[in-house]
Amino acid sequence: MVALTPAALLAEMQRQHAAQLVLKPSSAPSPPANRIHYERLRALLAQAAVADADRPPAELAESAELADWVDTAESADNAVPVDFNADDNADATAVDPDSPRQTPRRSDARFDDVSKMGPMYVRAVTDGQLLEGGVERLVSALSLTTDSVFADLGSGNGAALIHLAARVTCRGCWGIELLRARDAIARRSLESATDAGLLKSPVVFERGDLSSLAQLARQESRNGPTADAKQTAELQKGAQRAAAQEATAEPFTFEPFRLKELTHAFSSSVCFDDVLLREMATTLGNANLFPRFQTLVSLRALPSQASLIHVGELFLETSWNQNCRGHVYVPADILERGAGAIGTAPLLARLLCSEGACTLPTALQWPAQGVIKLPRS
């Protein structure tokens, strides 16, 4: 891996900025086929949200009931998103409670302690998500490619990740969610979106604790998280149809991806505490765990830490704010990651260039060996 100098990264940013100044956003309406495609996807995700909102109000009235609600009251059987290829006699894909990759590390006792924070916490951890407009802005800013691996850290009911997978073709999309009910909604929505042929990228949902992200990266199998056979087959059919319509040489081939190949991540982290945020930043910035990682967009600013550098902000549409501030971070050692630094150039140009002039954050202008890390007491 060949390291980049700050001057080389600035030159690439200026080149990208010049290209961005030339490009004009198209005002032409999307083709009818695409409009129908996204209307069906919106209907699917809206139905999933309705199913989530239909839970008995009593379950949210008392904060002390949070632990019971997480594990029993809102079980997978109560969360049924719409199925475009409906079959009343078909069983939904079962969630294996014994799978080590689906069992959260957190104990019920920790949930009991957290629940004492009051009803507002219960609403905060279950409500609020990135809306379709926010996903569109995120996709536009990140410039995902067919080699990108995207993660939604705290994926909730999966709506944002499913929409992103329907919007762009990338190597893989991965979401992790602690709450069983939300994870169940996400899995069934994914099955329905797959059956309807709405996805362009493979999606894997995992029930687990975000604080175990490093452990998951270390312990994953050689092939990593994989989409099921049906999803992969449907994606391949869609790629073949797209290749035929666009007269391209050959369709994109979907292959298993590894979590260690993660390149971009988003987190609706408004309710994460500083301890979890700092651990998340340290894990993502670890080049041994995630050597290809390029960008994190977090809805809450990260606390002081040395692993990720703040480079700007995006304003994303969420269910509580049409212009919610998303904080953008890149690894502190991004220059040493060579290709990874080049991959961030379009985003950095968007955030750090204006009227032909580009600049880098101070932390990226100093060589790594020139930074002295003070011991922590």
Residue 148: Cβ within 10 Å count: 24
For residue 43, the model assigns a pLDDT of 77
Query: In CATH, what number is assigned to the domain containing residue 335?
Result: 3.40.50.150
Contacts with 120 (C-beta within 8 Å, 6 or more apart), sequence order: none
For residue 81, the model assigns a pLDDT of 45
For residue 120, the model assigns a pLDDT of 47
For residue 127, the model assigns a pLDDT of 56
Q: Is residue 1 part of a domain?
A: no
Q: Is residue 36 part of a domain?
A: yes
Q: In terms of C-beta density within 10 A (0-12 exposed, 13-18 middle, 19 or more buried), how is residue 254 classed? A: buried
Angle between helices 32-53 and 180-195 (to 10 degrees): 150
Contacts with 91 (C-beta within 8 Å, 6 or more apart), sequence order: none
pLDDT tens per residue, range 233-267: 777 777 777 667 666 556 677 777 889 999 999 99
Residue 296: Cβ within 10 Å count: 26
| Structural domains of the chain, count | 1
pLDDT tens per residue, range 174-199: 999 998 888 988 998 998 888 888 88
For residue 233, the model assigns a pLDDT of 78
For residue 339, the model assigns a pLDDT of 81
Q: Is residue 133 part of a domain?
A: yes
- Tens-digit pLDDT profile for the chain (377 aa)? 678 888 889 899 989 988 888 765 544 444 444 555 667 777 776 676 565 555 444 433 333 333 343 343 334 334 444 343 444 344 433 444 443 333 334 434 444 444 454 554 544 555 578 988 899 999 999 999 999 999 999 999 899 999 999 999 999 999 999 988 889 889 989 988 888 888 899 999 999 999 999 998 888 654 456 666 777 777 777 777 766 766 655 667 777 788 999 999 999 999 899 999 999 999 999 999 999 999 999 999 999 999 999 999 999 999 888 999 999 999 999 999 888 888 999 999 999 998 888 989 888 876 555 555 666 65
For residue 147, the model assigns a pLDDT of 92
Q: Is residue 16 part of a domain?
A: yes
Sheet holding 203-207, edge to edge: 203-207, 172-177, 149-153, 264-267, 295-298, 324-331, 308-316
- Structural domain span for residue 326: 6-20+31-86+96-369
Q: Is residue 160 part of a domain?
A: yes
Q: Is residue 91 part of a domain?
A: no
For residue 281, the model assigns a pLDDT of 97
For residue 279, the model assigns a pLDDT of 95
CB 47 within 8 A of CB 82: yes
Distance CA 30, CA 59 (A): 42
pTM for the whole structure: 0.75
First to last CA, the chain: 35
Q: Is residue 26 part of a domain?
A: no
For residue 309, the model assigns a pLDDT of 95
Q: Is residue 374 part of a domain?
A: no
